[in-house]
Amino acid sequence: MKEKIEALKNGALKELNNLSKEADVLNCKAKYLGKKSELNDLLASLKNLTVEEKKVIGPLLNETKKELENAFNNKLTEINNQINYNFDETLPVCSKTGSLHPVTIVAKEVTDIMKRMGFTVVSGPEMETEYYNFEALNVPKNHPARDMQDTYYLDNGLLLRTQTSSNQVHAMQKYGAPLKVCSPGRVFRNEDIDANHENTFFQIEGMVIDENISVSNLVYVMRSLLREIFHQDVKVRLRPGYFPFTEPSFELDCSCLICGGKGCPTCKNSGWLELCPGGMIHPNVLKESNIDTDKYTGFAFGLGLTRLAMMKYKINDIRVLNNGDVRELGQFGIE
Ligand code: FA5
């Protein structure tokens, strides 16, 4: 048995030595280490050996397997390195220009529309304090609403913001009232990923604080915004929602443009996609920034830009937007 294993190993190494193409090495690897290889048969037949034989042959087979795996992997690395470095310097430079990411295009479009509507663009940090992401938004520690957005907490005591609403109190404290701002940005949630949920996605926050601001102002702005974005009247529905920082709160759903509202995997067969919740800013949030709640009221909303890009470009799976595959993403941008 020992001799057989030795011969098998030497045969494999000799054959490998003569190979220079990746595909050949992979075939050879499958021949000597694959499921149907002689080595695998020998490993499977260990159970038929005596205890004494097993003590010797078992380790020998494992060592041989490891040795061969290393040899094959080293060879593959060697070949790959050659592929990387042996490029033809005389080839013309690739003439295809880059393109903007669909979410970047949509974010710019929405921001431009909001600027035309009189909103000022503000920004805030992606690494945020608990205070701005939660506490200032009327979500104290241990409040059950913290579970609505699974949070990535960092070792430095900060967190990755879960929502662009974290910029609300930053803006109120900096500029006071009256106020009309929007804030696009990336947010992070420790979520299970599926066709319409990512753990890293983009939102844009809109916020207006002034005298006599009411729900009708909120609905008007959200509807006008969507009409301009889609260049058509898109079917939307408004239903009651819950956010600790708005009262009353609403959920604005958009009829799924992938299936025309019939139901598909993207909208989980509901025909609708949650797109833009909002509501009247809770007095506690205004008070946190010393805004006079007898004089001022306000509304805020958080539009999901990544989902908006899906709807606008009929992308049926959100994961396409984060996979970095330029062949897919390039088709939406400006070439
Ligand atoms: C919020 O994030 C609130 N901050 C929105 C808000 C702002 C309410 C101001 C009231 C006032 P929500 O968790 O529902 O709410 O997210 C808002 C939008 O972001 C969703 O409608 C959806 O379009 C998008 N979104 C949420 N989670 C994901 C996800 N995992 N992947 C992709 N998009 C998401």
d(CA 30, ligand 1 centre) in Å: 48
Q: What is the pLDDT of residue 316?
A: 92
Tell which wins on pLDDT, 140 or 259: 259
For Cα atoms 266, 267, 273, give the angle at the middle one, nearest 5 degrees. 120
What does the pLDDT average to over 165-170?
A: 97
pLDDT category at 300 given cuts 50, 70, 90 is very high
d(CA 69, ligand 1 centre) in Å: 48
Of 117, 138, 67, residue with least CA distance to 226: 117
Q: Whose CA is nearest to atom 29 of ligand 1?
A: 197
Q: Whose CA is nearest to atom 30 of ligand 1?
A: 197
- pTM for this entry: 0.74
Q: Which residues have CB under 6 Å of ligand 1?
A: 149, 163, 165, 189, 191, 197-198, 201, 203, 243, 246, 249, 274-279, 300-302, 304, 306-307, 318
pLDDT category at 85 given cuts 50, 70, 90 is low
**Is residue 86 pLDDT above 70, yes or no?**
no
Tell which wins on pLDDT, 325 or 303: 303
What does the pLDDT average to over 258-283?
A: 95
Q: Whose CA is nearest to atom 9 of ligand 1?
A: 301
Of 168, 170, 160, residue with least CA distance to 204: 168
Q: What is the pLDDT of residue 94?
A: 66
The encoded tokens of residue 214 equal 């009411």
Amino acid at 297: T
Q: At what angle do helices 2-17 and 22-33 cross, to 10 degrees?
A: 170
Coil, strand, or helix at residue 128? strand
For Cα atoms 279, 217, 276, give the angle at the middle one, nearest 5 degrees. 45
Coil, strand, or helix at residue 121? strand
**Is residue 176 pLDDT above 60, yes or no?**
yes
User: Is the four-CA dihedral 256, 258, 260, 264 of positive or negative sign?
Assistant: negative
Residue 61 CA: distances (Å) to CA of 10, 34, 52, 54: 13, 14, 15, 10
% the chain with pLDDT above 70: 97
d(CA 62, ligand 1 centre) in Å: 52
Q: How far apart are CA 183 and CA 298, in angstroms?
A: 16
Residue whose structure tokens are 């702005």: 221
Amino acid at 3: E
**Is residue 97 pLDDT above 80, yes or no?**
no
**Nearest ligand 1 atom, CA 249:** 10
**Nearest ligand 1 atom, CA 277:** 8
Q: What is the pLDDT of residue 335?
A: 41
- The three state secondary structure string of 246-277 is EEEEEEEEEECCCCCCCCCCCCCCCCEEECCC
How many angstroms separate the most distant Cα atoms in the chain? Answer: 93
- Cα 48 vs. chain centroid, distance in angstroms? 51
pLDDT category at 333 given cuts 50, 70, 90 is low
d(CA 277, ligand 1 centre) in Å: 7
Give phi and psi for 121, each to the nearest 5. Answer: -85, 130
Q: Which of 109-113, 154-158, 229-233 has the lowest mean pLDDT?
A: 229-233
- The three state secondary structure string of 20-84 is CCHHHHHHHHHHHHCCCCHHHHHHHHHHHCCHHHHHHHHHHHHHHHHHHHHHHHHHHHHHHHHHH
Q: What is the pLDDT of residue 134?
A: 96
